[in-house]
Chains A and B, each alone.
Chain A
Amino acid sequence: MWIRKKELLSLSEGIRRALDGQPFDPRNNKEGAFSILKNDIYTLTHSGQEQKNVLAEEKEHLAEYLSDISHQLKTPISSILLMTELMADAPEKTKQEFLQSIKKEIRHMEWLVTALLKMAKLDSSVTNFHREEIPVSLLLGEALKSVEIILDIRNQTICLKNDLSLYCDKKWTGEALINLLKNASDFSVENSEILVDCGENPLYHWISITDTGEGLKKEQIARLFRRFESSGKENGYGIGLPLALSIMRGQNGDIAVSPGGHGSGATFFMKFYK
């Protein structure tokens, strides 16, 4: 292959310009090793540009979270202000009701801020996941502590069908599991058993949670993982599932949904890619 010295020099100059941050695209899409080299050089010089894009995107995400937080806090704050104003002239019984509502709204805000901050941290890759081998039964045991009360009130139980060890961050995965269990409880009928199962295939390990609801319609699936969209159930607050998804995606995993229907509930799969 005969390459003119002029071409090599111009390629060198282009690379130098790329190192300086200037645009450089040497690709000419011809056959031959020289053209392939140019393709590879483009890929190499572009990896820097990609990192810049990632940082810009992170900034955009953080701005979005800030806007979400302030927007979501407006409603409970106005509620609280209104109630405190009305309380002044209210009879004792009503005052007590208002106080309960105010407490509820404050807890709501606290939950919201915590969850949003967690998501922001996850998305900005500031979070370090400490992965370890941990059996599903242990994860479930820990997670149950946070949902015991709700399950008790609704007389719902959890049944673990199988057990295996998987490699994940115990704290964060537990958090995702809690949100999925809460969701399952919301969608299940009272006096029923929520089924938790686990297994593995060549691509990933998985934990599944099946509720005893009526299954999910297409429109519901679309809204599931979007922040602050109502799931139709008041306890949702609209952030549990998006948070669980961020957690799984942050540790090389994902969440998949099998909609169920026709008498069987929906199943959520936590996937842990190998």
Chain B
Amino acid sequence: MEILEVKDLTKMYGSGDTQVTALDHVSFQVKKGEFVAIVGASGSGKSTLMNLIGGIDRPTSGDVIVDGKEIFAMSESALAIFRRRNIGIVYQFYNLIPNLTVDENIMLPCLLDNRKPDEQKLSKIVEMTGLSHRRDHLPGELSGGQQQRVSVGRALINDPAFILADEPTGNLDSKAGREIMELLLSANRKANQTLILITHDENIALQADRIITISDGRMIRDEVMRV
């Protein structure tokens, strides 16, 4: 069973003459441990695709099946909880809670479930982000690259079915961007963490095992880079 199945996904906006098809019957599957890059130009539909896979938006038709569960068959509240427990999202603009420390931001998905994560696991993840000496700092005291590393830590804490990263290096300089890619790659290879990364940057996409290309709402290519 694949960890993610996207089935005939379609998203249309508007109606009649002004109807826009953002996503047109896109289907693909992702296996556990795969690193897939989804590439496309601005306006290609890749962000729409990401929002649908993450359960943040609902499709006009089609299904997204995560770890065997049809996510759009759930209610909004159930989906929010499912997402918290099963999907790790890394955004382009970090989206950390400004008045929580590094530790607390990473732990957030667990705290929302009213439980504390395993201390060892938390330490391991903090160490991976390279911020062991700044655990009690607030996001405002960190650089962009450091904040993004906290985001990645937050995405990993719950051992999600997959990590969804939307242009994770888009807001970073090249050095910080490289560090984030190394962090994500390391989680992918060491913990067999499935990684789905949306990007318009070819050089980043070339680091993936598989590249899916979206153009005008359609999947025009699905290329395996490393077998």
Contacts and interface: CB of A to CB of B under 8 A. Distances in A.
Contact of B226 (A201, A218, A225): A225
Interface in A126-153: none
Interface stretch (A76-84, A98-106, A249-257): A249-257
B100 interface: no
B93 interface: no
Interface in A9-58: 25, 27-31, 33, 35-36, 39, 49-50, 53, 57
Given A39-B85, A221-B225, A226-B225, 11 more contacts: A29-B85, A30-B78, A33-B114, A35-B81, A50-B32, A201-B182, A222-B206, A222-B211, A227-B227, A254-B189, A256-B207
Given A29-B82, A30-B78, A35-B81, A252 B227 contact: no
B119 interface: no
Interface string A238-272: 00001001000100111011010000000000000
B206 A221 contact: yes
Contact of B69 (A27, A49, A50, A226): A27
Interface string B50-94: 000000000000000000110000100111011001000000000
Given A29-B78, A218-B202, A252-B190, A203 B128 contact: yes
Range, interface on chain B:
20 to 34
A218 B37 CA distance: 15
Contacts of A57: 31
Query: Closest 5 interchain pairs by CB?
Result: A29-B78, A29-B81, A225-B226, A29-B82, A203-B186
Range, interface on chain A:
20 to 34
B206 A36 contact: no
Nearest to B203: A259
B115 interface: yes
A36 B181 CA distance: 31
A167 interface: no
A237 interface: no
Nearest to A119: B227
Interface of B, helix, strand, loop or mixed by DSSP: mixed
Contacts of B227: 225-227, 242
Interface in B202-227: 202-203, 206-207, 211, 223-227
Contact of B81 (A30, A50, A226): A30
A118 to B, nearest CB: 15
Interface of B: 1, 31-32, 68-69, 74, 77-79, 81-82, 85, 113-115, 128, 130, 182-183, 185-186, 189-190, 202-203, 206-207, 211, 223-227
A31 B81 contact: yes
Nearest to A242: B227
B190 A25 contact: no
A252 B185 CA distance: 12
Nearest to B80: A29
Contacts of A249: 189
B223 A222 contact: yes
A91 interface: no
Given A203-B128, A203-B186, A225 B225 contact: yes
A33 B226 CA distance: 41
30 contacts: A27-B82, A28-B78, A29-B78, A29-B81, A29-B85, A30-B77, A30-B81, A31-B113, A31-B114, A33-B115, A35-B81, A36-B85, A36-B115, A50-B32, A53-B1, A201-B182, A203-B186, A218-B206, A221-B225, A222-B223, A225-B226, A225-B227, A242-B226, A249-B189, A252-B190, A254-B189, A256-B185, A256-B207, A257-B206, A259-B203
